[in-house]
Chain A
């Protein structure tokens, strides 16, 4: 009888310990690449918003209104642990409607690992680089969105 109770306790313990914490990622500020002009899409171009510093562009891209990096808050993690963040890239942008060339989000400017504080929270800024197709096609005057995933391991 006592053995059965022990086995049940051990089983419940195993289940509790195997259940991951409900960690969260809050995007306090989204990653914005601003408003840009595609002057020439026959050559490769890009717009870069660094995690720290000034946005810049190359190739046939001009910046009309500069963007800003994202501010991410990782919360409800164990205290003082190292989070390793890996962006799942590259991804292509999409538009709500219309036939247009797309951008490729090929690089994210983010520390490879961060340490949570005593409350299990870690804040980090995230930049990135968006590349034009360079294929000569036309970009519609509209908003382009890229959704990607951050793999967090600890």
Chain B
């Protein structure tokens, strides 16, 4: 009986020692998440308008008359005649306006205009009638740290504000047709579309 008690005590102590020195290990699941949003809102709040012009093309398509609408609203639109092509502004045009929202706060954005000229044509045109071409796009920043400056890729960037918004105006140069034609421009609206790309 006494032996049993001793055995029990020894085993008991051994168990306590074993329990106290036992290392418990377990794995618990956890999770993490992230959301990617590479897109943002870009709205052309106002299209670029060259106004109303009196204009004629060089029948040979050699000389080009131009109408310039600067992106900076403080600079008036101008027309340049190159006889026999001629251009005269009747009602001045206005630069287009673009607003950007939902971008990363204070991020620098690049503006990419078409590298090739864009044609402006009437809704209905007679065969061989002249069109306009639009090129030399430019942007004028209207918000952020570089507000009131002409955009220059790599040097004067479009910068988003603390709310992730930015804005700029854009202008371009309208030229008469460089294609030989015997027809005159019609008294109608000429229009064209082109992409404006804003990227990080």
Query: Which residues in A have their C-beta under 8 angstroms from that of B23?
Result: 153-154
Residues of chain A from 2 to 47 with CB closer than 8 A to chain B in the complex: 2-3, 6, 10, 13-14, 17, 20-21, 23, 25, 27, 30-40, 47
Given A2-B4, A37-B104, A62-B200, is A152 in contact with B34 using a C-beta cutoff of 8 Å?
no
Contact indicator A63/B4 (Cβ below 8 Å): no
Given A3-B4, A6-B4, is A140 in contact with B29 using a C-beta cutoff of 8 Å?
no
Q: How distant is B162 from chain A, measured CB to nearest CB, in Å? A: 13
State A149–B107 Cα separation when bound (angstroms).
36
What size tier do the contact residues of chain B reach?
A: 20 to 34
Residue B90 is within 8 A (CB to CB) of chain A in the complex: no
Query: Which residues in A have their C-beta under 8 angstroms from that of B19?
Result: 17
Query: Which residues in B have their C-beta under 8 angstroms from that of A151?
Result: 25-27
State A154–B103 Cα separation when bound (angstroms).
46
Q: Which of B15, B27, B39 contacts A149 (CB 8 A)?
A: B27
- CB contacts between A and B, total, < 8 Å: 130
Contact indicator A47/B31 (Cβ below 8 Å): no
Interface-central residue, B4, B38, B164, by most chain A CB under 10 Å? B38
Residue B33 is within 8 A (CB to CB) of chain A in the complex: yes
Q: How distant is B98 from chain A, measured CB to nearest CB, in Å? A: 19
* Main DSSP-derived SS at the B contact region: mixed
Contact indicator A37/B36 (Cβ below 8 Å): yes
Contact indicator A141/B24 (Cβ below 8 Å): no
Given A6-B8, A10-B8, is A140 in contact with B36 using a C-beta cutoff of 8 Å?
yes
State A148–B33 Cα separation when bound (angstroms).
11
Q: Nearest residue in B to A49 (C-beta to C-beta)?
A: B32
Given A30-B31, A40-B200, A130-B32, 10 other A-B residues pairs in contact with their CB atoms under 8 A = A31-B31, A34-B34, A36-B35, A38-B36, A93-B34, A128-B32, A139-B38, A146-B32, A147-B29, A149-B29
User: What are 11 pairs between A and B in contact, CB < 8 Å?
Assistant: A6-B4, A27-B31, A39-B200, A64-B104, A64-B164, A141-B38, A142-B36, A144-B33, A146-B31, A146-B32, A152-B27
User: A-contacting residues of B (Cβ < 8 Å)?
Assistant: 1, 4, 7-8, 11, 15, 18-19, 23-39, 102-104, 107, 164, 200
